[in-house]
Amino acid sequence: MSKEKFTWDEDCKEAFEELKRYLGSPQLLSRPELGEHLQLYLAISDVAGSSVLRLAKSNLSGLFVDGARNDQGAGAGVLIMGPQEETMEYALQFSFPVTNNEAKYEAIILGLRLVISVGIEELLVKGDSKLVIDQIKGSCWVKHEALMKYHSKAVQISQEFKRILFEHIPRTENEKALDSPPLITANCLKGCMLKSVTNPHIKKKWCKG
């Protein structure tokens, strides 16, 4: 019985390139968003294999936060959005001195505590401070002593969730938190809850003056 020698010719090369193009461009019925779970189904036999990737049902809630300080004082806007887009809005006023970045950490920490209090276990946190979000994600160093304490507190609280993600968004897209102005309570929208915060979440060294 003679064996024919296999030759890799132009037809083989063309067929292989076509297969690569097909495998490299799978059909998408919908594009997944950041934070969504994916499920991969595999079917494998001795001669063939196939796979299907689909979106899994998610109970992910959203937390939009923004903290700020200006001449009028300091505060934060917090909006919690459930999986069915039900919302809770808070306008928070700080009665203690903070820097702008400290106000943003206070907003995140307070937002996380509020989310925990309503029993949410899976969360996507969105904020417009790239520095603070990157620090919590671990992709940016924390240099200042006070921010180190805030960072440690935020990470500690984050560990109480079953699943939590942090995402930086442009300020123009953070209107959900900004719709509840933290510094001017008179402008708080109908249905927004006002809350006064008397103590910071970390121990700070106060200067006598």
**Domain 61-197: homologous superfamily in CATH:** Ribonuclease H-like superfamily/Ribonuclease H (3.30.420.10)
**Domain ranges across the chain:** 10-55, 61-197
- The pLDDT of residue 10 is 83
CB count within 10 Å of CB 4 equals 5
- Could you give the CA distance from residue 167 to residue 162 in angstroms, rounded to a whole number? 17
Please check the confidence at residue 99 and state whether its pLDDT lies above 70.
yes
Q: Over 80: is that where the pLDDT of 27 sits?
A: no
Nearest to 176 by CA among 74, 91, 101: 91
* pLDDT value for 44: 72
Residue 9 CA, distance from chain mean position: 51
Q: Which residue has the higher pLDDT, 179 or 88?
A: 88
> How far, CA to CA in Å, does 43 sit from each of 47, 79, 98, 180?
11, 43, 57, 50
Query: If you average pLDDT over residues 66-85, what whole number do you get?
Result: 86
Residue 69 has what pLDDT? 85
Element at 194 (helix H, strand E): strand 192-197
Across the range 144-165, mean pLDDT stands at: 95
Burial of 179 (0-12, 13-18, 19+ CB in 10 A): middle
pLDDT at residue number 80: 92
More reliable by pLDDT, 199 or 8? 199
In sequence order, the 6+-apart residues with CB closer than 8 A to the CB of 185 are 91, 93, 194
C-alpha to C-alpha distance for 36 and 151, rounded to whole angstroms: 25
- Kindly indicate the confidence band of residue 182, based on its pLDDT and cuts at 50, 70 and 90: very low
The model's pTM: 0.69
Check residue 45 and give its pLDDT.
64
At 8, the pLDDT band (50, 70, 90 cuts) reads confident
Banded model confidence at residue 153, pLDDT cuts 50, 70, 90? very high
- Strand duo 49-55 + 38-44: pairing: antiparallel
Q: Where are the beta strands (DSSP E) in 45-188?
A: 49-55, 61-70, 73-81, 87-94, 122-127, 163-168
Question: Which pLDDT score is estimated for 59?
Answer: 81
Q: What is the mean pLDDT of residues 94-120?
A: 93
